[in-house]
């Protein structure tokens, strides 16, 4: 990595502009070594979640890295079964214990409308959010936000929240640019994080991206991640392969032109789209 830069969240905290995603990184040596490789490559922003089942492995990698805690930005998330005040309070403590940390830099509600709470999701989110606000006030969490929220989910939360979300982590890449929620979040000062920023495997088959990559002497993955950065998003690429992990953060020695950004924007719908959070079956 040639540059470590940050965004400033609307609560005043700083967040590295690229993060390392750990979704699908199997608990144990695979996840631990992936995170260690990411930290060695220069990542300082690690994203996990309770449901990923690898918080312990992430915590072990952080500890073994020897990097001072204050130089790291660690995110985890509240899973769908815990959308109540009491359950969310416990979930935060349990995640901290599994990670071996005294505090989290960012804690997110993972999904807005879990199937178990579908008939009263607004109240469930408000109750969980209250517990998150208390964790914020006590210092267990530095910043709080959401994931997979659409505009109507955010508007409902705003009605009862004392602290507004500072981040919305969503499925975001050239094939699904989610323009409505992106526009809403930008107007509210909510930073957008892009999970699956490389979309599905189909995105690597698009000729337009191959041509842009060749022009810059970069890979398709690097071009798509650079697009995300130039959009003002925080991409969260994931891999367990050290060479790919390193490649995915080497994004600061080239820039896409306005014309190239437009070509990539035109790929909407060509390689998969997000699930509707109001219809997921979990």
- Give Cβ neighbours of residue 281 (< 8 Å, ≥ 6 apart): 115
User: Which H or E run includes 263?
Assistant: helix 258-265
> How many other CB atoms sit within 10 Å of the CB of residue 2?
9
- Give Cβ neighbours of residue 176 (< 8 Å, ≥ 6 apart): 199, 268, 269, 272, 273, 274
Catalytic residue among 52, 107, 117, 171: 52
104 DSSP assignment = B
Distance CA 281, CA 114 (A): 8
3-state helix, strand, coil in the chain (%, to 5): 45, 15, 40
Give the orientation angle of helix 258-265 with respect to helix 207-216, to 10 degrees: 160
Given the DSSP bridges, would you call strands 191-195 and 20-21 parallel, antiparallel or unpaired? Answer: unpaired
Q: What is the 3-state secondary structure (H, E, C) of 206-238?
A: CHHHHHHHHHHCCCHHHHHHHHHHHCCCEEECE
Given the DSSP bridges, would you call strands 45-47 and 73-78 parallel, antiparallel or unpaired? Answer: parallel
The answer to whether the beta carbons of residues 48 and 60 sit under 8 Å apart is: no
Q: Is 52 known to be catalytic? A: yes
> What amino acid positions are annotated as catalytic residues?
52
């Amino acid at each position: 990595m040639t540059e470590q830069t940050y965004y400033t969240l609307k609560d005043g905290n700083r967040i590295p502009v690229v993060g390392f995603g750990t979704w699908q990184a199997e608990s144990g040596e695979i996840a631990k070594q992936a995170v260690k490789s990411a930290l060695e490559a220069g990542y300082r922003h690690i994203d996990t979640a309770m449901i990923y089942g690898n918080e312990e492995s992430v915590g072990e990698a952080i500890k073994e890295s020897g990097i001072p805690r204050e130089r790291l930005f660690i995110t985890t998330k509240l899973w769908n079964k815990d959308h109540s005040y009491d359950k969310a309070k416990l979930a935060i403590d349990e995640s901290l214990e599994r990670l071996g940390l005294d505090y989290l830099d960012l804690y997110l509600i993972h999904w807005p409308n879990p199937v178990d709470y579908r008939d009263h999701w607004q109240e469930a989110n408000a109750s969980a959010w209250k517990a998150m606000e208390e964790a914020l006030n006590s210092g267990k969490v530095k910043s709080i936000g959401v994931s997979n929220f659409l505009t109507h989910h955010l508007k409902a939360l705003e009605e009862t929240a004392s602290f507004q979300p500072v981040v919305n982590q969503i499925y975001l890449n050239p094939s699904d640019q989610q323009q409505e929620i992106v526009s809403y979040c930008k107007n509210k000062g909510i930073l957008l994080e892009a999970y699956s920023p490389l979309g599905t495997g189909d995105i690597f088959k698009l000729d337009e991206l191959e041509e842009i990559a060749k022009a810059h002497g970069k890979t398709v993955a690097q071009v798509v991640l650079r697009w995300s950065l130039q959009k003002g998003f925080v991409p969260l690429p994931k891999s367990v392969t050290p060479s790919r992990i390193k490649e995915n953060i080497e994004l600061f020695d080239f820039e896409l032109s306005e014309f190239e950004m437009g070509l990539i924007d035109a790929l909407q719908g060509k390689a998969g789209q997000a699930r509707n959070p109001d219809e997921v079956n979990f």
